[in-house]
Amino acid sequence: MTHPAIAPGNVAVVTGGASGIGLAAAKRFAELGLKICIADRAGLDEAKAALGGDVLAVEADVSDRAAVEALARRVTETLGPVSVLMNNAGVGGGGDALSNPEGWERVLGVNLFGVLHGVQAFVPAMAESGRPGLVINTGSKQGITQPPGDTAYNVSKSGVKALTEGLAHTLREKNAAVTAHLLIPGFTYTGMTARRLPEKPPSAWTAEQVVDFMLESLDRGDFYILCPDNETTRAHDEKRMAWSAGDIIENRPALSRWHAEWKDAFAAHMAE
């Protein structure tokens, strides 16, 4: 690894680390010689057994600021100063703009405020230390292209994108030795996906593939870690994202990609 924060003996914290992308990342960091803390609301015993070694596993609800601040104190006291922070915990099932207020609060609390809590609890000390540091926040393509359905999830991941961009700018302006990066997974088969799909579809990547791609992207110094999958290429993603930006530039209807009157124009755009 070329990122200086990913070095043997350094400390990595992964939220949502008991399964999926978080667990896969924790395994890879451990293989690279880092000391690991995983935080999650469930599944910690199984994850700790899967990781092996001396892993700190902490039950924590990232939507609770006090719980994340307590997590930061415990990690520092137990393992030492943090070099790698991966704000990865996430949930879905929020609902559309007119439904499920409780679901909205849960999704925004975990997916957006959970990331903010992690950033504000850990990153100031990381930046002030003068040591190399790495922050990875898990976003989503849905936070960029905004497919209809789970609008709450889209809003939360749009917020993570904006937060991470702003964090990267702030760290750069402070000349900190800490860098921030936005992980944008493609279609990935995780525990969240498995609730509706009992078997991994051929089109989906595994969590391990996402983490390998993430590490390769960090080697290149990428801020936007835009993952493909087994059916969607980067070129395909770029066209979808360019169309979404074009809604504003060309003053099209909101989410014109899914608008009946713009269906053919979108298809032509993708075929170019």
**127-150 burial, b for 16+ CB within 10 Å, e for fewer?**
beeebbbbbbbbbbbbbbbbeeeb
| Residue of 29, 113, 122, 153 marked catalytic | 153
Residue 88's closest CA among 225, 229, 261, 198? 225
Q: How does 54-93 read in b/e, with b if 16+ C-beta sit within 10 Å?
A: ebbbbebbbbeeebbeebbeebeeebeebbbbbbbbbbbe
Structure token pair of residue 104: 């909205």
Using CA atoms, how far apart are residues 87 and 183, in angstroms rounded to an integer?
A: 10
Catalytic residue list contains 153: yes
Rg over CA atoms, the chain: 19
Task: Give strand pairing partners of 138.
Answer: 183
Residue 27 and residue 50 in contact, taking contact as beta carbons nearer than 8 Å: yes
User: Catalytic residues, which ones?
Assistant: 153
